[in-house]
Structures are given as C-alpha cells and as structure tokens.
Chains A and B, each alone.
Chain A
Amino acid sequence: AQTVTQSQPEMSVQEAETVTLSCTYDTSESDYYLFWYKQPPSRQMILVIRQEAYKQQNATENRFSVNFQKAAKSFSLKISDSQLGDAAMYFCAYRSLINTGTASKLTFGTGTRLQVTL
C-alpha cells in the first residue's frame, strides 16, 4: 500500500518570503500522480498543483512550484512571494495510474499547517 508522509506539522513564513513544504511517499509503482491540495479555514479542498511521475520536468503554477525527486520519492512544494491568503493546511497526495478498484483513490499525508505573518 502507498503511504504519504508530511514531517512538518506546522510551518511559518513572512509575507513576501519563500517557504518549502516537504512530502515523501512510498510506492512500488512507476507511474502515478502526485498532488498538493490546500485547505483554508473555509475547509474547501483546493488543488494547488499536479505532477505526473513520468514527467521529469517539475510542475509550476504561478507562485507555486514543486521539486519532484522520483528516485528519492520526494515531492516538496515551494511557495514564492507568500501572501496572507496562502495561510492554510496543505496536503500532499498520491494517486496510482492503475485503473482498478482501490487504486483510484487519493492517499493523503497528514498535512502541514502554514502560517503567514506580516
């Protein structure tokens, strides 16, 4: 079974600074998806960024980028120019590409709470 580990329960960053959230995962599969989701106090789950494991290029979405290290099974999220609205819980998640049964689910890490200070 796949597992996702987020070792930082809480992080803090000053507005306009850069912060990196860590995520490692364990799998025996070679093709899969990795995601970062954001959950603000409104509790809505919002997709931040997606990475397909077969793509070597790291995904970027505006101020958000990932450092995907497939051999190390590491998938960190970098937030540049942090804004107050970035304050939220951030969840790393794994999904298999296998199109059967339990493989269709997202497996989440335990989350990192990000505080943004002035």
Chain B
Amino acid sequence: DTAVSQTPKYLVTQMGNDKSIKCEQNLGHDTMYWYKQDSKKFLKIMFSYNNKELIINETVPNRFSPKSPDKAHLNLHINSLELGDSAVYFCASSQWAGGSTGELFFGEGSRLTVL
C-alpha cells in the first residue's frame, strides 16, 4: 500500500499547455510538500502545506499554483508551461506536530517533459 502516491508518473506536453499533478498520502501526516528536481539532480522546495494552510511558498513563478483540498491531498497545477519547467516533481509528507521523527516521506516523482 503506497504511502505517498503521485499521478501521473510521466507527463509529456507542449509549451503553453496547462497541466496538473496530484498527490495523496495515507500516512496521516499533517504537512505536505512539493519539491522540484532539476536536470542536475538539485532538489528545491517549492511549496508546503500544514493542515491545508500554505506555510512555505518559495520563489516560484505564479504559473504554479498548489491546492490542498484536505490534509491528505496536495495538487500542483501549472499554467502556460515553459521549456524550463521540465523536471521531476516530488510530493512529500511529514508529521510535524507531536511524535515526529523529522524525515519526509517522498512519492515516486512525476517526470514532466515540456516540448
């Protein structure tokens, strides 16, 4: 039973299109994240939600819009895709309140290719 699941795992699309990536966690965690891994494998935080509230919003173009309908789900919508958006996007979750061991649990990543 997958703890953090993302869909789709692969996404190929044309410049200018709009796309979404969905993430769900069944760990009962209260905090979820989106990370971007570029072609050099560097992992950078994009957004984080704690109990549906946005708590981290790094310097990300406003074409990227996260949405958390409940604390088990965090989606990422990207408008007007550009070539530079090609990357692997990781969803992750952690338990921040009480009993946390600190680590983030990651999904398998969604590889986005913009042509």
A52 touches B88 (CB 8 A): no
Which residue in A50, A91, A95, A97 is a CB contact (below 8 Å) of B43?
Answer: A91
Nearest-CB distance from A112 to chain B (Å)?
10
Interface string of A27-51 (1 = CB under 8 A from B): 0000001010001001111010010
Q: Does B104 contact A (CB under 8 A)?
A: yes
* Chain A positions within 8 Å of B42 at CB level: 108, 110-111
Most buried by A among B33, B41, B102, B108: B102
In the assembled complex, how far is the CB of residue B94 from the closest CB belonging to chain A, in whole angstroms? 7
Contact A50 B106 (CB under 8 A): no
Q: Is B12 an interface residue (CB 8 A)?
A: no
Interface of B is mostly: strand
Interface size on B, residues (CB 8 A): 27
Task: Give Cα A47–Cα B102 distance, bound, in whole angstroms.
Answer: 11
Flag the segment in B13-21, B48-56, B61-69, B78-86 that touches A.
B48-56
Query: Contact: A50 with B96, CB < 8 Å?
Result: no
Q: Which residues of chain B come closer than 8 Å to A107, judged between CB atoms? A: 45
Interface string of B101-115 (1 = CB under 8 A from A): 111111011010000
Decide if A105 is an interface residue (CB 8 Å cutoff). yes
A99 and B97 contact, CB distance less than 8 A: yes
Judging by beta carbons under 8 Å apart, are B102 and A50 in contact? yes
Given A44-B109, A111-B42, are A104 and B103 neighbors across the interface (CB < 8 Å)?
no
Cβ-defined contact, B97 with A105, below 8 A: no
Once bound together, how far apart are the Cα atoms of A7 and B40, in whole Å? 15
